[in-house]
């Protein structure tokens, strides 16, 4: 039985490669590619598994990319329920330019998913979530899925008495409704939810508290990039600093952070310490190359450094 179940409605086959220099109008011969299962919830499930907790990823899958995602998850030992669809699962390409150290990320659109396949995904989630401690809905919504889709997910988790963790953006975030236990917006996403620019730390705290007062969530963890994270509940406000590491890539850092928070909670850490563990997991993901996620030994080391620094 998986302790953490994730839902990814717009999964992707992540392809990472490198090249000396990117120039227009030429054939660019890249290095040997790396293939990883991707998409918000899938990344969270993979990171949770890497941190030693059993997870299960629910996602729609179609075409060769969908089959390869399932194959790669099996190789990693990550549990999954791939719901077959008629469309083709998308691919994304991450190209590192060695000369400049810059990375270029090309994200293709997902397939159109009709109402029948949407319901099959929700049914699969409901079945998998019965024995889970937490349900994570993460990532963008592909074509065909209504903006209030995550509100339907919230209704399911509410009926099951499960904690819903949501990490998304844009209209899918604005129409997510109530029923969310923990929301993890970026600062830009927080501005979109409250409808105005946020100019200083006081306004950050007020905006996060507004989400809770509006019933959007019980806990808000606002990602602040190099400034760390802002943790807000109805009873408390806490700022947790970032960890300084030599970053190779930002791919998967947010998903690793969310996985770390949940693993910390399952380990019995307080919410504050679990968020600190999540920050360590996010920082550990920055150390990985391409589309790789955090590694347990890096997370444990960075978390211990953060605890010793307090």
User: Which positions are annotated as active-site residues?
Assistant: 255
What is the Cα–Cα distance from 16 to 93, expressed in whole angstroms?
Answer: 6
- Alpha-helical segments (H) within 161-236: 170-174, 187-194, 201-213
Joined together, the tokens standing for residue 196 give: 């105005």
CA dihedral 167, 171, 177, 181 (to 10 degrees): 10
Calpha distance 130→160 (Å, rounded): 7
Q: Which residues pair with 84 in a beta bridge?
A: 61
Please give the Cα distance from 159 to 88 (Å, whole number): 32
Contact between 12 and 92 (Cβ < 8 Å)? yes
Taking the mean position of all CA atoms in its chain, how far away is CA 257? 8
Other C-beta atoms lying within 10 Å of the C-beta of residue 301? 13
Q: Where are the beta strands (DSSP E) in 39-160?
A: 55-61, 79-84, 90-97, 103-107, 134-138
Residue 54, SS3 per DSSP: coil
Task: Please count the other Cβ atoms lying within 10 Å of the Cβ belonging to residue 84.
Answer: 11
d(CA 274, CA 105): 30
Q: Do 163 and 133 meet the contact criterion of CB atoms below 8 Å apart?
A: yes
Residue in 310, 289, 206 with CA at minimum distance from that of residue 279:
310
CA dist 181 → 101, 191, 212 (Å): 39, 20, 10
């Amino acid at each position: 039985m998986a302790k953490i179940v994730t839902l990814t409605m717009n999964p992707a086959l992540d392809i990472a490669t490198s090249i000396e220099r990117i120039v227009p109008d030429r054939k660019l011969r890249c290095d040997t590619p790396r293939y990883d299962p991707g998409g918000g919830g899938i990344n969270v499930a993979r990171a949770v598994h890497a941190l030693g907790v059993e997870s299960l990823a629910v996602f729609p899958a179609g075409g060769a990319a969908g089959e390869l995602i399932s194959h790669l998850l099996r190789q990693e030992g990550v549990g999954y329920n791939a719901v077959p669809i008629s469309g083709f699962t998308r691919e994304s390409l991450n190209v590192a330019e060695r000369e400049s150290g810059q990375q270029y990320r090309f994200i293709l659109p997902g397939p159109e998913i009709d109402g029948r396949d949407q319901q099959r995904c929700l049914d699969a989630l409901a079945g998998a979530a019965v024995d889970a401690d937490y349900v994570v809905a993460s990532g963008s919504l592909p074509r065909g899925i209504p903006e209030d889709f995550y509100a339907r997910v919230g209704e399911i988790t509410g009926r099951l008495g499960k904690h819903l963790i949501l990490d998304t953006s844009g209209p899918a975030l604005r129409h997510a409704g109530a029923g969310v236990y923990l929301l993890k917006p970026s600062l830009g996403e927080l501005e979109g939810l409250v409808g105005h620019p946020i100019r200083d730390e006081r306004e950050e705290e007020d905006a996060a508290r507004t989400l809770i007062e509006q019933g959007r969530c019980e806990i808000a963890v606002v990602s602040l990039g190099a400034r760390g994270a802002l943790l807000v509940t109805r009873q408390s406000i806490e700022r947790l600093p970032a960890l300084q590491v030599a970053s190779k890539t930002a791919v998967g850092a947010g998903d690793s952070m969310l996985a770390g928070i949940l693993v910390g909670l399952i380990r019995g850490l307080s919410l504050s310490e679990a968020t600190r563990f999540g920050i360590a997991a996010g920082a550990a993901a920055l150390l990985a190359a391409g589309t790789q996620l955090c590694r347990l030994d890096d997370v444990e080391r960075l978390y211990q450094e953060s605890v010793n620094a307090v």
